[in-house]
Each structure stands twice: as structure tokens, then as C-alpha cells.
């Protein structure tokens, strides 16, 4: 059992922190930020939905960022400087957030955690007086209390700032209510708007401390203000499109578009619009508050990433005109209105608008649809419609479970498995009969 005591009361830290204090008085926070954050090559970790790692790897490679060879469930590690981390936040369509690995050490007791954490140059990473969240996961370790681990990290970070006469991060109670905090998977919890977050992963007595560079999850591009029932996350929609081979110049029809997610993501892929600046006004990122952040450097990265013209035809259809109105409002906020044609249409009773392209379908499989009484019948009907009306089109169809996939009658080239609203789901990708 781990003793419930405060490491700050028990550690002989004064001589050490006094020395740090002296050093800090000689070197400004800006210089430390340059030395510890801006200049070095860091380890970054692009968190993603399990099942989409290969797509994230491919996206990183396109950015010239070389993913580490090791396979990690739910993310991809890559080396890079601060600018590279900013580029990952700006460009990755399929990641959920980008973490910056700050420290990695052996920790069998809170004293180890405190000693190693207080030694990190947090003042170079975090803004003074920021609201700070600490989240953790623990597996197979001697130290087995998450609350003790988190409070120790907080105490060490605050001590680090206080010893240098800098404004300490605010206590957790000062952080805006975080309704997404999930006791089982805290490391995946959202960072409250405007807050900074440290994630601690303690595994077999080895701890990894990471700083969340994204802030709000990356799928929150900032343009989806009008939601309909069961919208798909923007980064999952992008992952499905990329897995299905959607690329600039291809045509796309989302025949059950809901809030327009697939069509808007497709418009951004077709024009090379980075997801990080796709909304008006653009979203912000946690790294923008860091002492090492340079607004001119960010503006330069954004300028380099400007959209290009496209000849892709992108059509968003839905049976419900009110839903189409919501999709059109979202497209407007995403700067994609002129790229998308919105059409009210019943999928089972309409023809393709052009000879070929990618047909995307995210049916309302949890609900009853017209005369269709169950999901299996719904998907049979969809397959029949693709066969009879969409000859020569590629398709990507979202479905809730593997048993439905087994009975899917059309030719399939690949599938993508992911979690959708906390439930297992998959997209089948293939081509309708010629
Ligand atoms: C699960 S939602 C799609 C969510 C969408 N992918 C998003 O991100 O918001 C399913 C949509 O299918 C539409 N729908 C239902 N039956 C339809 C039909 N027969 N033809 C076209 N659209 C239909 C519904 O109006 C609903 O907007």
C-alpha cells in the first residue's frame, strides 16, 4: 500500500530548489523556453482512435514527419521540434490530440515522482498562472493511487514555479468544470477550454509525463455548430475518407449527410485546407499559450498551408430538409459552402449526380428508417440500392457491428474499425458492381 503523505513534507528538496532558484534568476523564462522547448527535437505523440493508427502514420509521412517504427495502440509517436508539433496540430485530420513528451523516469513511490517532476523546467513549457489539469493512468505499478499521483505532480509543478518567483498554476478547483472527465480513461479526457493539461502514464513503475499541446480535441475544428442526431466525429470522417482513397480531384456524395461532416471534410481534403484553421474564426490550441509560442511563426505555417482550387464535385444529400439547412450552416462556417452542393434526396430513390466517385453512407442504424424495421434489413436495402443505381462507384458504409459486416453482400476491399460514441463501429470500403 502506498503511504498517503505529502512528498513536499518528506523530501529534502530545499538545497536543490534553492539552486534552481538561483539559476532561474539568471536566465529568463523566454531563454529557457527557447532552450528547452523551441530548440530541441522532442518526442511527440499523436493520439488517435484505435484502428486509425496507419492513417495517422500516412498523414505524418505526408507532412515529412517520420513516425517512430514502434506500433502503439491508439497513437503514433514521432520526433520533431516545436514547429513540427504545431504543424501536426494544424494539419493532421485524423488525430485526436498531440502530446509533447516532457519526461520519462522510473517511479516506485511518490518521492520519485516529486523529485523528478520538480526537476523539469515547467516554467519553459507552461504559462505562468495557467489553469492546470493533471490526468493519469496507472497499470501494474507499486504506486497505485491516481489521486496521490496527480496531486504529487501538481505539487511538484507548483513548487517549481514558486521557487523561481513565478505565478504558480491555479489549483484544479479553479479549472472550469470538465464534464468529460472519465474516471476510467482520464488520459483521454478533454482539456477544459483555456486550460493546460499534463498527462501522466504510469506503467510497470515507469512514468511518462506529457503535455497536451492541442487543448480541445482536434476533431473540434470549430465549424460544427449545428449538430444533428448521431454525428460522426470529424477526425473519424476524415479517417474513413482517407482509408477509402478519397483524394483531390475525386467526386464525393454523402447520401445521408446529417450535419455535413463527410462532405465538409472531403471539401477540405480536396482543397488542402488544414483542419486546424478550417473554421471562421479559427480554433485555438493549448500551445498558443506556451512561453515558446511565436505568433509570427504560426502565421507563417498557416500561410504556407493555404487552400488550392479543386475540380472535385462534392454533393451532400439528406432526406430531411431541416438537416440539410444545418449542414449548410456548418459548411458556411467551414468556408466550404461554394464547394458543396446540397440536395434534398431520398437515397433509395435517387441517382448519382455524376458518373463516378466515392459514395459515403452513415445511416441512422440505431433508429427505424421508413418501413425498415431493423439494421440488417436497412443494410440489405442499402446494398441493393448501390448495386442497382451506383454502378462503378466506390463506397464507404458505416455500420455498427461485425455481424452486419459478415452479411454485407457487396465486394469489399478493406474495413476500418473504430469507436463511435463509445461503441464499436466499422466502415466497409469497396466498389459497387460495374
Ligand atoms: C446518422 S445521421 C448521419 C450523421 C452524419 N454523418 C453527421 O456527421 O452528422 C443519418 C442521416 O440520414 C438521414 N436519412 C435517413 N434516411 C434517409 C434516406 N432514405 N435518404 C437520405 N437520407 C436519409 C437522416 O435524416 C440523418 O440526417
Mean pLDDT throughout 147-171?
95
Cβ 8 under 6 angstroms from ligand 1: no
Could you tell me the distance, in angstroms and rounded to a whole number, from the CA of residue 234 to the centre of ligand 1? 16
Determine the average pLDDT of the residues in 81-94.
98
pLDDT of 422 reads 78
104, 206 contact by CB (below 8 A): yes
Q: What is the CATH number of domain 7-212?
A: 3.30.2130.30
Give the Å distance between the CA of 239 and the centre of ligand 1.
Answer: 19
User: What is the pLDDT at residue 419?
Assistant: 84
**What confidence tier does 184 reach under pLDDT thresholds 50, 70, 90?**
very low
- Which of 261, 262, 318 to mutate to test ligand 1, by most ligand atoms within 8 A of the CB atom? 318
Q: Is the CB of 400 under 6 A from ligand 1?
A: no
Q: How remote is the CA of residue 256 from the centroid of ligand 1, in Å?
A: 4
Residue pair 396/390 in contact (Cβ under 8 Å)? The answer is: no
Q: Is the pLDDT of residue 221 over 70?
A: yes
- What are 197-216's pLDDT values in tens digits? 999 999 999 999 999 999 99
Give start-end residues of each CATH 3.40.50.150 domain in the chain: 234-272+307-431
Residue 273 has pLDDT above 50, yes or no: yes
pLDDT at 416 over 90: yes
Angle (deg, nearest 10), helices 82-91 and 295-304: 50
The pLDDT assigned to 56 comes to: 97
Mean pLDDT in residue range 350-365: 95
What would the pLDDT profile of 237-272 be if each residue is shown by its tens digit? 999 999 999 999 999 999 999 999 999 999 999 999
Nearest CA to ligand 1 atom 19: 346
Q: Is the pLDDT of residue 182 over 90?
A: no
For ligand 1, say whether the CB of 215 is within 6 Å of any of its atoms.
no
Residues of the chain with CATH 3.30.2130.30: 7-212
**Percentage above 90 pLDDT, the chain:** 77
User: How much is the pLDDT for 373?
Assistant: 57
The CATH code that applies to domain 234-272+307-431 is 3.40.50.150
Work out which ligand 1 atom sits closest to the CA atom of 232: 8
Residue nearest (by alpha carbon) to ligand 1 atom 12: 256
CA of 364 to the centre of ligand 1 (A): 6
Amino acid at each position: 500500500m502506498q503511504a498517503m503523505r505529502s512528498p513536499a513534507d518528506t523530501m529534502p528538496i530545499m538545497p536543490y530548489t534553492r539552486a534552481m532558484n538561483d539559476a532561474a534568476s539568471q536566465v529568463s523564462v523566454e531563454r529557457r523556453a527557447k532552450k528547452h522547448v523551441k530548440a530541441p527535437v522532442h518526442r511527440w505523440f499523436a493520439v488517435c482512435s484505435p484502428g486509425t493508427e496507419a492513417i495517422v502514420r500516412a498523414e505524418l509521412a505526408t507532412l515529412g514527419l517520420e513516425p517512430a517504427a514502434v506500433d502503439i495502440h491508439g497513437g503514433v509517436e514521432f520526433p520533431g521540434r516545436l514547429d513540427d508539433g504545431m504543424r501536426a496540430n494544424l494539419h493532421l485530420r485524423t488525430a485526436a490530440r498531440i502530446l509533447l513528451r516532457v519526461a520519462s523516469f522510473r517511479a516506485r513511490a511518490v518521492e520519485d515522482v516529486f523529485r523528478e517532476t520538480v526537476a523539469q523546467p515547467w516554467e519553459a513549457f507552461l504559462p505562468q498562472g495557467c489553469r492546470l489539469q493533471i490526468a493519469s493512468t496507472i497499470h501494474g505499478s507499486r504506486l497505485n493511487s491516481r489521486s496521490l499521483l496527480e496531486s504529487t505532480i501538481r505539487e511538484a509543478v507548483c513548487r517549481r514555479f514558486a521557487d523561481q518567483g513565478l505565478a504558480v498554476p491555479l489549483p484544479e478547483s479553479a479549472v472550469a468544470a470538465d464534464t468529460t472527465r472519465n474516471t476510467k480513461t482520464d488520459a483521454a479526457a478533454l482539456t477544459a477550454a483555456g486550460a493546460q493539461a499534463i498527462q501522466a502514464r504510469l506503467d510497470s513503475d515507469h512514468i511518462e509525463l506529457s503535455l497536451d499541446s492541442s487543448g480541445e480535441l482536434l476533431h473540434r475544428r470549430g465549424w460544427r455548430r449545428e449538430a444533428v442526431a448521431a454525428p460522426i466525429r470529424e477526425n473519424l470522417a476524415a479517417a474513413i475518407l482517407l482509408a477509402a482513397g478519397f483524394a483531390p480531384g475525386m467526386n464525393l456524395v454523402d447520401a445521408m449527410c446529417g450535419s455535413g461532416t463527410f462532405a465538409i471534410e472531403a471539401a477540405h481534403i480536396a482543397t488542402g485546407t488544414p483542419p486546424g484553421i478550417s473554421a471562421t474564426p479559427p480554433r485555438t490550441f493549448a500551445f498558443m499559450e506556451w512561453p515558446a509560442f511565436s505568433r509570427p511563426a504560426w502565421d507563417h505555417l498557416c500561410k504556407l498551408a493555404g487552400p488550392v482550387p479543386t475540380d472535385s464535385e462534392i454533393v451532400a444529400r439528406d432526406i430531411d430538409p431541416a438537416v440539410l439547412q444545418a449542414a449548410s450552416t456548418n459548411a458556411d462556417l467551414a468556408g466550404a459552402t461554394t464547394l458543396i452542393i446540397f440536395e434534398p434526396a431520398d437515397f433509395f430513390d435517387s441517382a448519382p449526380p455524376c458518373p463516378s466517385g466515392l459514395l459515403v453512407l452513415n445511416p441512422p442504424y440505431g433508429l427505424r428508417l421508413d418501413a425498415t424495421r431493423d439494421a440488417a434489413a436497412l443494410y440489405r436495402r442499402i446494398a441493393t440500392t448501390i448495386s442497382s443505381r451506383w454502378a462503378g462507384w466506390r463506397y464507404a458504409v458505416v455500420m455498427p457491428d461485425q455481424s452486419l459486416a459478415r452479411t454485407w453482400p457487396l465486394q469489399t476491399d478493406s474495413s476500418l474499425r473504430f469507436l463511435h460514441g463509445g461503441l464499436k463501429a466499422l466502415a466497409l470500403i469497396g466498389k459497387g458492381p460495374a
